[in-house]
Structure 1
Amino acid sequence: MKIPNSLSQVLTTCYKDLFPQVNEKLEQLKEQANRIPNEELRTQALASIESKTFHCEGGSIYATLARDHWKKAIEFIVAYQTISDYLDNLCDRSKSLDPEDFRQLHEAQLDAIRINPDLDGVNYYQLREDQDDAGYLLQLVEECQRIIKQIPQYDLIQPYIERLASLYVDLQVHKHVVDHERVPRLTTWFEQENDDDDLYWFEFSAATGSTLGIFCLISYGLANERHGRIMLESFFPSLQGLHILLDYFIDQHEDKVEGDLNFVNYYEDESEKVARIGHMIKRARNELSDIPDQQFHQLIIDGLVGLYLSDPKVKEINGAGEAVKQLLQDAGWRAKIVYWNGKAYRKLKGRKSA
């Protein structure tokens, strides 16, 4: 597979090759999730697949960086993103508010990218009531392990991947504890970890919540290319921050109903919210301008903006129309094309599943 260098190539590759492969893998995982004995774990595993398919679809574009090994990259991306979405659901809808429980759950994400972790007798659920998943989570970890063991000299990129994964895990722990502890924990963590004066604490937190940098490094690794430091610095915080701010933007109504923390709510008003996301678009463009395959990476910005803003959840947000219009203007004409293609794709997909 060639790395797409134009919007038409990206769209063709997504619809013709990547998305069908992603959905085939997700159907297999859905069958496994349906066999989970514990009702709560089964419910959250299925919900994480059914409501967040587009996370795997969107991430799959990075599989093209693996070239001939793109199917292996998709296997990793689907497995790792499914771990992420499943654990996020378990924490969001959890009876527990124990940070140690959340950290133990997310050891799965760290084991998935570590070199030869000790998985013998591991129990990621040991600090919670719901236990029996019939090996579902461990199978996802082992799927990721199977792929990284095929990456030449994985040890050279592993530290950069673990840095991103560790930040992700810290975020999940801090943002899911009891309500009154969340902001103090996140702001203290921000002061300890951040060295970018341009970021608010909640923008830094958002940037840690993306898996895109990991997918990029894994895919390049499968192609026997190692761009560890340059990709880490190019993806974090701007592109990853843009990714998750858009994710929170479309989840505003849903998070309000569920009482979940939403980072875009910490902007002073709608005007600042739109301006800062627009600023993150510009920062991401600048920081991706001098890296390998930079034309491809620039297209990802268009894809992120168009794909997220075309999500049906945007209709539930009061007054979102003007914000969408402005953000599409900030991103440019290619994002607008992705936006309209995204709307058409979801409509077609909805008809097929009806």
Structure 2
Amino acid sequence: MTLPLHPLSLMNQVYRNIMPVVHDELTYWKKRAQDIPNEELREQALASIANKTFHCEGGSIMALTALGQKDAAIKFIVAYQTISDYLDNLCDRSTSLDAQDFAALHESMEDALTVDAPLQSYYRYREDRDDGGYLGELVQACQSVLREMPNYEKIKPYLLELCRYYCDLQIHKHVCIDEREERLKNWYEKNRQSLPDMKWYEFSACSGSTLGVFCLVSYALRSDFEACHAEMIRGGYFPYIQGLHILLDYFIDQDEDRKGGDLNFCFYYANDEELCNRLIHFLQQADQFTSELPDQKFHKLINRGLLGVYLSDRKVNEQREVRLLAKKVMKQGGVVSHFFYWNGRVYRWVQERFFPWKKAF
């Protein structure tokens, strides 16, 4: 199996070699979620799979970089992303707004990246606790892949660094509205020295992606992986590729978040022009850092794919200002981004028209 370097070959491999394995993995986790004894935990676990299948599908594209070990990479990616989506649901719908509770839940993500970590009482600060071992099994699924990986120690410090950013973000952004902005700003100030020039809400966005973790794990499954690759991948994906990923996610959700009163990092820009310019800046910086990665053509495809896939979402067309800005940003992506844009629209149309039951994932 070779790494695809052109849009058509990439999508061919994604549809033939990635999606079927992802859906097999999700089918298993959906069955496990159905057996969760506690009603609230069962409901949130099933909802996270049903509504966020796209996260596992998109993240698993990184498994292509594992070459012959792609199935192991997909097993890890689906399990780790499922933990992320499940915890996001629990925190979003928590009635406690308790940072201590959110921190305990997210200990599972760090444990998932630490092969010798024992399982903990992740629900210890909430009433709903009996998940029938669901979260623990997800953690152990991730550990099992890392345990068989000869290059684990080379990537471990970078995995845990990216995980810490992610978990801190989830803790700070889910507390009560009166506290979250101040917490995020203080967190940014503590990390500011190690960051390029960016605002606190952009740092938050950069911390909210799991792509760097997926890329590190996928590469480390390869026999030709070298220690220098770990630092290159970390520097390539954090902050700019991850930031581009999450800013695009928030960009298309603006109307939805405005109506729901939810935190959206795009709301903090002074105006649409600044938002557009910063999205373009993140794309340009992502391209620059991509040039220092192994298989740079593949990673540039990922950057262009992020643009096309997110900006082809139906939510863009439903928001006039977002639609106008999306056109400006898409121009920066060129022909390749337009390819992914139309591929995304066709894929969604086919799914909705001919396979509506797949939403039940």
**TM-score band (shorter)?**
over 0.9
| SS at structure 1 position matched to 2:3 | coil
The unaligned stretches of length 5 or more in structure 1 are none
Segment drifting more, 309-318 vs 76-85: 309-318
Segment drifting more, 103-112 vs 1-10: 1-10
| SS at structure 2 position matched to 1:332 | helix
Segment drifting more, 126-135 vs 208-217: 126-135
The code of the aligned residue for 1:335 comes to: S
The code of the aligned residue for 2:186 comes to: T
Q: Which residue does the alignment assign to 1:166?
A: 164
| Percentage of pairs with the same residue | 49
Separation in structure 1 between the aligned mates of residue 321 and residue 82 of structure 2, nearest angstrom: 32
The code of the aligned residue for 2:151 comes to: Q
Segment drifting more, 75-84 vs 315-324: 315-324
Q: Which residue does the alignment assign to 1:201?
A: 200
Q: Which residue does the alignment assign to 2:147?
A: 149
Separation in structure 1 between the aligned mates of residue 207 and residue 338 of structure 2, nearest angstrom: 27
| SS at structure 2 position matched to 1:116 | coil
The TM-score normalised by the length of structure 1 is: 0.97
2:213 pairs with 1:214:
yes
Separation in structure 2 between the aligned mates of residue 29 and residue 268 of structure 1, nearest angstrom: 42
Segment drifting more, 314-323 vs 291-300: 314-323
2:287 pairs with 1:289:
no
The TM-score normalised by the length of structure 2 is: 0.95
**C-alpha contact (below 8 Å) 1:115/1:155 kept by paired residues:** no
Per the TM alignment, residue 315 of structure 1 is displaced from its structure 2 partner at its CA by: 3.3
Per the TM alignment, residue 197 of structure 1 is displaced from its structure 2 partner at its CA by: 4.3
Separation in structure 2 between the aligned mates of residue 137 and residue 157 of structure 1, nearest angstrom: 24
Per the TM alignment, residue 56 of structure 1 is displaced from its structure 2 partner at its CA by: 0.9
Q: How many matched pairs? A: 352
Per the TM alignment, residue 353 of structure 1 is displaced from its structure 2 partner at its CA by: 2.3
**C-alpha contact (below 8 Å) 1:92/1:260 kept by paired residues:** no
Separation in structure 2 between the aligned mates of residue 260 and residue 279 of structure 1, nearest angstrom: 25
Separation in structure 1 between the aligned mates of residue 342 and residue 46 of structure 2, nearest angstrom: 28
Per the TM alignment, residue 290 of structure 1 is displaced from its structure 2 partner at its CA by: 1.9
**Residues 239-278 of structure 1 aligned to structure 2 (within 5 Å):** 239-278=241-280
Separation in structure 1 between the aligned mates of residue 196 and residue 237 of structure 2, nearest angstrom: 17
The code of the aligned residue for 1:250 comes to: I
**Residues 104-143 of structure 1 aligned to structure 2 (within 5 Å):** 104-119=104-119, 122-143=120-141
Segment drifting more, 28-37 vs 86-95: 28-37
2:324 pairs with 1:325:
no
Separation in structure 2 between the aligned mates of residue 139 and residue 252 of structure 1, nearest angstrom: 35
The unaligned stretches of length 5 or more in structure 2 are none
Alignment CA distance shift 1:174-1:62 (3 Å):
same
Per the TM alignment, residue 319 of structure 1 is displaced from its structure 2 partner at its CA by: 2.4
RMSD: 1.2
**C-alpha contact (below 8 Å) 1:175/1:182 kept by paired residues:** yes
The code of the aligned residue for 2:199 comes to: Y
Separation in structure 2 between the aligned mates of residue 97 and residue 317 of structure 1, nearest angstrom: 31
| SS at structure 1 position matched to 2:4 | coil
Separation in structure 2 between the aligned mates of residue 292 and residue 326 of structure 1, nearest angstrom: 30
Alignment CA distance shift 1:318-1:40 (3 Å):
farther
Poorly superposed stretches of 4+, deviation over 6 Å: none
Per the TM alignment, residue 258 of structure 1 is displaced from its structure 2 partner at its CA by: 2.6
